[in-house]
Amino acid sequence: MSWHSELLPPSLTLSNLVKELSKADSEYKRAGLSVQNRVVFLGLRVVQRVAYNVGWAVGNNRWR
Amino acid sequence: MPYFKQTQFYGGAVFVTVVIPTFNRASSLERCIRALPSDVEVIVADDGSTDETALVSDRVSHPQLHFVRKGNGGPASARNLGIHHAHGDVVAFTDDDCVPAPRWPHQLAERLRSEPATVGGVGGAVLPLKDGWISRYSTFHRILEAPPSISYLVTANCAYRRAVLNMVGGFDETIRTPGGEDPELAFRVRKAGYTLVHEASAVVHHDYRESLLDFAKTFYRYGRGCARVVA
């Protein structure tokens, strides 16, 4: 179902992570965030991505 | 479905029930209830708390406050218990670590009343209760709000028509930890033919925990629960 695509995480590869962080940083720059703010947000983004993907992997194994 | 009541109308007016699932957060629960207007029904669904949650009903004065209690089974089952006891045409949801704005439940209900019957639910805006990096990040990314596509709602701040909740059978109680149950319900509501809308003026303030570990745990639970939705 196409609605699910909003929940589906990208694979946790370095290349995907770099793309995601690059896109996020562009958004932060457009919003006028300070360098410090951007760095903190990018760090949180990494934590969010890794945590969500690990949870997804565990959930997937559980529900199969 | 034996679990849900028929919709009841009171003089034709939209009557709102606020359902708050809770587990071991007595002080923030009290803060949440105190922020609610007195002319809405409030149902606190206690998911088996072991702290002083049961004493909150004695400490808070609200003319339409009801506490219902069950064994610990997760927020989905707690919300369903709240829905089971609700009388409102509209059931609004928030969490025990949120502080709703004064007219919040009415703003959600009024939005639903102004929409055609094909609109099944509405979500609102979530602002931070205090400042901090995780609060700022979560607010910037609108973590606790519906996505721009409004493909699902987040139960920190949303409302559904009770008839719609009855029809789809409420939340999926097999999702026992927070995360995933919100989009899972919303997808079933949409599959049943309803649409969802966003009401930016309906605001709750969320008390984000400024802990990196809690932040990581939250997204781990979201991922685990959302995998269930897609499975």
**Domain coordinates in residue numbering, chain B:** 16-230
Any CB–CB contact under 8 A between A60 and chain B? yes
Banded pLDDT at B7 (limits 50, 70, 90): very low
What dotted CATH number matches B16-230? Answer: 3.90.550.10
Nearest alpha carbon to residue B149 among A1, A17, A60, A25: A1
Query: For residue range A9-55, what is the model confidence (pLDDT) as tens digits?
Result: 999 999 999 999 999 999 999 999 999 999 999 999 999 999 999 99
Which residues is B123 bridged to in the sheet?
B158, B198
Is the predicted pLDDT of residue B2 greater than 90, yes or no?
A: no
From the list B136, B183, B224, the residue facing A55 with the nearest CB is B224
User: Across the interface, do B223 and A56 touch by the CB < 8 Å criterion?
Assistant: yes
Any CB–CB contact under 8 A between B193 and chain A? no
**pLDDT attached to residue A2:** 65
Coil, strand, or helix at residue B160? strand
CA–CA gap between residue B24 and residue A37 (Å, rounded) = 33
Is the predicted pLDDT of residue B41 greater than 50, yes or no?
A: yes
Banded pLDDT at B191 (limits 50, 70, 90): very high
Amino acid at B164: V
Coil, strand, or helix at residue B48? coil
List strand residue ranges (DSSP E) for chain B, in order.
16-22, 41-46, 65-69, 90-94, 98-100, 119-128, 157-161, 195-206
From the list A3, A4, A56, the residue facing B224 with the nearest CB is A56
**pLDDT attached to residue B177:** 86
Banded pLDDT at B209 (limits 50, 70, 90): very high
Instruction: Give B144 to chain A, closest Cα distance, Å.
Output: 14
User: Across the interface, do A62 and B133 touch by the CB < 8 Å criterion?
Assistant: no
Instruction: Find all residues with CB under 8 Å of B100, minimum gap 6, and list them.
Output: B18, B32, B35, B36, B94, B157, B203, B204, B205
* For range B208-221, the mean pLDDT: 97
Interface test with A, best of B139, B172, B176, B220 (most A CBs within 10 A): B220
Query: Which of A:8-37 have CB within 8 Å of B?
Result: 8-9, 31, 37
Any CB–CB contact under 8 A between B149 and chain A? yes
**Mean pLDDT, all residues of chain B:** 93
Tell me the count of A-B CB pairs closer than 8 A.
Answer: 91
Query: Who has greater pLDDT, B4 or B121?
Result: B121
